[in-house]
Chains A and B, each alone.
Chain A
Amino acid sequence: MLKIKNKFNTERDISGCGLCGIINAKKVKTNGSDIKKAISVEHDRGNGLGGGFAVYGNYPDYADLYAFHIMYDNLSAKTDVEEYLRNNFIVEKEESIPTFKTSKIYDHPYLHRYFIKPKSDRQDKLFHELEDDDFVVNSVMLINQNYDGAYVFSSGKNMGAFKGVGYPEDVADFYRLEEIEGYMWAAHNRFPTNTPGWWGGAHPFTLLDWSIVHNGEISSYGINKRYLEMYKYNLALRTDTEVITYILDLLIRKHKIPIRLALTVLASPFYQKIDKMENDKKKLFTALRQVYGSALLNGPFAIVFGYSGGMVAMNDRIKLRPLVAASNGDFTYVASEEAAIRAVCQSPDMIWSPKAGEPVMVEFDDIKEKTSLKGGLLSL
């Protein structure tokens, strides 16, 4: 039986991992061979029980539509989910996600994708005035929770997640990523310790156009989860990655906190640092900790977080997991190991190890121009 949902008797999934990210600030596209090459160097950071990729800019023809990637355990689940989709969304196009049998990945769920947008007269309008994004989030949670045998693993615009059980280089071959082009890539190699063979549990975890790959174990998971539940998030997957994604969703999308500042909630500066800040800044950071203390991600992590505006890579507040970054022209690379970067970019302009809690942020040039007036960088 393929496990696309977490049926294991655990409160949550725990795993160690390797990760990589590549972004071109000018949105020059590359195919998936570089990211595959980079993550394959980190082969030993995984154990063959989960690999995955996120790519941005891969659906330019459907850039205005939500691209749903759904995995099905059986076809009756597909029928049920499609009925829900047809009732609530305009489905512009649907097709099987092209996959290619390899000797390494022979047992997989049925993978299908839909390019859709919410109907303006959908039924729930009788009860709510939800924005399209909120409705999509609700739909993703509804399907993942209530439709047995179905799991939405990608739901953003002009981006997609491709993941499965196997080593990432095999997953890349399975989806034949060298035929896909994008201007931002993230990859993940998973080392689960208690939930083997679970397709849904592979990274990246995505919500709308956000994707997260993550190496770590959030020691504060218990309270992070309960905090999110207070805001009606349904933590069906029980993974750290899911928690991180929802916290970012809450802070950035719902509470309109600038990304840079939201990251300081995830890996908040210590009070000994806050106390030394000048007055306004001290007030702001103290308030952030007072209000969002339950969203602090405590324990080891390195994450690569992609969104329509760019990419962020960061560590926990005392850097308990590895993370290296490099820049070369318009390209920025991040990875768990320097060797992964060197494999695809032998002599970068600059290579460094980001400090604990200090995010590496790359915004696309076109976004930067638009937002240069607002939400500037906060030097910590």
Chain B
Amino acid sequence: MTKSSFSNIQSEYLAVIDHNKCVRCKRCIQNCGWGTYSFGGDKILADHSKCAACGRCYTYCPEGAISIIKNPTVIRENANWQEPLVKNIWRQSETGGIVISGMGTTFKYKKYFDHILLDACQVTNPSIDPLREPMELRTYLGKKPSKLDLDFDEKGEPVLKTKMPPQIELQTPFVFGAMSYGSISLNAQKAMALAARALGIVMNTGEGGLHDDLVPFGKNIIVQVASGRFGVHRDYLNSGVAVEIKIGQGAKPGIGGHLPGEKIGIDISRTRMIPVGTDAISPAPHHDIYSIEDLRQLIYAIKEATEYEKPVSVKVAAVHNIAAIVSGIVRAGADIVYIDGYSGGTGAAPTVIRDHVGIPIELALAQVDERLREEGIRNEASIIAAGSIRSSADAVKAIALGADAVAIGTAALIVMGCHVCGKCNTGNCSWGITTQRPELVRRLDPEVYGERLYNLISAWSHEIQEVLGAMGVNSIESLRGSRERLRGIELTDAELKALGIKHAGL
């Protein structure tokens, strides 16, 4: 077959340069990771087809001479044959491949968090002013016994007899979601590690192992064991505060991962314990977990390796039967279950999976919490909810639906400059986040962005305190699972039932 010399796919965005303003400093050429810009001898030229609208060039243009605009050239509007569908058909007819995307789904599914309203106190119970009264956000993740047993010392004072299972102490109910070294840069991981330490929370290594530079941050790190088992060894398992078994990810339930060989430089190769230049392939299933009883074996193998001193978390994607799945995971011995909703992010996933598989975290969470309570085992494991927590309001609603803490991934990357362009898979991230190109990675200063991450989580925590105060409670555990403080708006009976909340006005 002869290859056609042209592509039907027009550039999505246009990088427009105001040549009157441009001083030809060429910073845009330097900053663009996609190679959009070049110097034409007397002026900057832009190859629009390469632009990802990542926002780097105009942010760093000293003259404000760059505008990124949506390509005004239209594909004829059609509500059925929408532009992305038409373009994907062209793309796939040209390549014969699977369309790959980064970040979470761009589809406009219903966002349930935006249809939930919060309660506040009026008259019959007083609201509490967080500026004057203590307002507690401290959260412990891990298995809790259903009751405490006590002994009494010679003076008759009670002493704890129950041996408490290991807990992760969080000063605020946030964790950074799992993002591996490989999918993101070391500097991006370092920024999160610095912030996690300052905030008294934890970050998650993802499945890429633990780089030597991050070892000192162990008290603020959850190490992950995924299907590729990259970088997993005994010291690794013992280097964090908890170990997480990754079964699935919200953006790509049922799908493994693939870090192409060109990204496996010497550092990643060392950290992942694989040869330089080889593809790092995480199989779709763990090949030693073909059922729940196998998961139990892995959980206990890890507990043995860590002498029962670390909680074991299991991360799963929110799929249709999630409540029963999580119940099984809890009964298999997990201390924490991390549930990732369908709009969660990814470094790379087949677009068809990202956009069509899984269910919203709000519904999954509500069902899981309810199911575990019905079975009387809610105390056996903590729940982390994830899958595009976009604001403190989302976090509050997730906690009221039953989460112990929420994980943020995409929001943390946005702090570092990410404009959610969704091209993480290309490795050209101009912000130095999802790239291993040294000249791009170097521009992400871990200290600067560590502080900004600290700022964001602090700000969100203050907002949660304000909400708690308005609700008249002064401790996060009084919000957790308290669905009575939630009301639905513009939701059907079925949706309300799935969420376990009442409609506004009732």
- A-side interface residues toward B, CB under 8 Å? 9, 11-12, 14-16, 193, 216-217, 219-223, 225-227, 229-232, 254-258, 261, 268, 270-272, 280, 283-284, 287-294, 296, 298-300, 317-318, 320, 372-376, 378
Contact = CB atoms under 8 A, between A and B. Distances in A.
Contacts of B475: 268, 293, 296, 298
A291 B156 contact: no
A320 B126 contact: yes
A287 B376 contact: no
A229 B156 CA distance: 33
Contacts of A261: 150, 158
Interface in B467-500: 471-475, 477-485
Given A219-B478, A376-B155, A231 B472 contact: no
A231 B377 CA distance: 10
B138 interface: yes
B156 A299 contact: no
A255 B478 contact: no
In the A-B complex, list the 8 residue pairs whose CB atoms are closest, starting with the nearest: A222-B484, A293-B477, A376-B156, A222-B482, A220-B478, A298-B478, A219-B472, A217-B125
A372 B484 CA distance: 42
B484 A225 contact: yes
B484 A14 contact: no
Contact of B481 (A11, A15, A226, A232): A226
Contact of A300 (B125, B146, B158, B378): B125
B480 A270 contact: no
Given A283-B164, A284-B159, 4 more contacts: A216-B125, A291-B379, A300-B472, A374-B152
A348 to B, nearest CB: 29
17 contacts: A14-B124, A15-B124, A219-B125, A219-B478, A220-B482, A222-B485, A225-B484, A257-B150, A261-B150, A284-B150, A284-B158, A291-B145, A292-B148, A299-B478, A375-B156, A375-B158, A376-B156
B128 interface: yes
B225 to A, nearest CB: 26
Nearest to A218: B125
Contacts of B79: none
B112 interface: no
B436 to A, nearest CB: 41
B156 to A, nearest CB: 3
B157 A378 contact: yes
B contacts with A: majority SS? loop
Contacts of B148: 255, 257, 287-288, 291-292
A216 to B, nearest CB: 7
Nearest to B500: A226
B145 A223 contact: no
B133 interface: yes
Contacts of B164: 283, 287, 290
Contacts of A300: 125-126, 472
Nearest to B375: A230
Contacts of A271: 136, 138
A290 B144 contact: yes
Contact of A220 (B147, B158, B473, B502): B473
A296 B210 CA distance: 39
Q: Which of B160, B478, B479 is the most central at the interface, judged by chain A CB atoms within 10 Å of its CB?
A: B478
A284 B145 CA distance: 13
